[in-house]
Amino acid sequence: MTKRKKANVAQSVERRHGKTEVCGSIPHIGSVLSDAHLHSMNDITILTQQFCDYSTFIKGYKLPTIKRYKYAIGFYQRFAQIETLSDVTCSNVRALFVYGRTERGWSANTFINYHKSLTVFFRWCIKNEYIDFDPLQDIELPKLEKRLPAKLTKQDALRLLEIVYNYPYDFQFLRYRNHAIFATFVFAGLRKQELLNLKLTDVDLENLTIFVNQGKGGKDRIVPMSYTLAQTLKRYAEERKRLKKTCPEFFTSLNRNCGFTDSGLKRLKKKMVETSKIKFSIHKLRHTFATLMLEGGCDIYSLSKMLGHSDIKTTTIYLAASAEHLRGQIGKHPLNELSVNGIK
């Protein structure tokens, strides 16, 4: 065999098997190849991208999940000042979580989210034989606080919608669109990304339904809309048509023929918080929808379907958050109508 053929064989072995050492009469070629290959196998930045590609195209995870993975891995990499997997140790991973709790003030929920993201990444590394140990196996998780979901009162929700509509906009389109956006959050309980992903064909004003295509967890669902919401969306849809918006997204930009963006929604929310003096997040409006639905008499099963919850247990937390609902239930105590010890 010629030297050239031997070199080709060595390269083929390296590509197929990732050997760190190639036997034969030309060890120096195998050594050079193995060093470069080993470095690429260990480089955390490269592996993070491969892991995210796997999570996107094989596992089917959505962009917000991928962003969370990338941020958590990158944060650990910067904190530990490491570049390769060979620098990963149980001690510097543990130090990250200690730092997060003591210096950054992580809540239990934040701690658990970082732990989940890094766990998935390192398990992928183990499965692909990049490392042979789990650096998080001895890290205990804090107890998650059981907090009631933050919500707006009925009065604040109504006042917010009034302020959004009556704000001094320069264009009528902005008035109708912004009011329709906040009304959809309050009257239908959609998540932020679900609203931004709505297509024109997803909003059925004739049959009073909103089709949520591939919401959280990759699930489709149909959310009924009230007559009040339908009127608000119809007014916006007519203005949208008047301005000849032809993009597929239901909620669109004013100046461009494209969908309303996440950054645009953040600016809008900030403006309305400053104007109304009501502190709220977009997700808080979803909590408001759920609580008001229960107070209005909606059953927990129907509400879980409208919210898109996989487990009805997730929805039951709103039972405790609704004082009005609980107040109505306490009136069912059988002794309320009876005298106790002769006292009425």
Task: Give the C-alpha separation, 231 to 180, whole Å.
Answer: 9
Give yes or no for a contact between 201 and 194, defined as CB atoms under 8 angstroms apart. no
Please tell me which residue in 37, 101, 216, 235 is annotated as part of the active site: 216
DSSP per residue, 2-35: -HHHHHHHHHHHHHHH--S---SS-HHHHHHHHH
Task: Give the C-alpha separation, 199 to 248, whole Å.
Answer: 5
Please tell me which residue in 318, 325, 332, 333 is annotated as part of the active site: 318
Give yes or no for a contact between 161 and 251, defined as CB atoms under 8 angstroms apart. no
Nearest by Cα to 68 from 310, 76, 150, 220: 76
Strands 203-204 and 209-212: antiparallel
325 flagged as catalytic: no
Task: Give the C-alpha separation, 65 to 74, whole Å.
Answer: 14
Please tell me which residue in 286, 287, 327, 333 is annotated as part of the active site: 286
Residue whose tokens read 């969908």: 259
DSSP per residue, 239-279: HHHHTT--SSBSSB-SSSSSBPPHHHHHHHHHHHHHHH---
DSSP state of 214: S
68 flagged as catalytic: no
The answer for 309, left when phi > 0, alpha when psi is -120 to 50, beta otherwise, is: beta
Please tell me which residue in 115, 151, 177, 191 is annotated as part of the active site: 191
- The neighbouring-strand residues paired with 221 are 212
Please tell me which residue in 279, 283, 301, 327 is annotated as part of the active site: 283
283 flagged as catalytic: yes
54 flagged as catalytic: no
Counts of helices then strands in the chain (DSSP H, E): 15, 3
Residue whose tokens read 């998780």: 141
333 flagged as catalytic: no
Strands 221-224 and 203-204: unpaired
| Residue 167, amino acid | Y
236 flagged as catalytic: no
Please tell me which residue in 179, 287, 309, 325 is annotated as part of the active site: 309
Active centre residues (catalytic): 191, 216, 283, 286, 309, 318
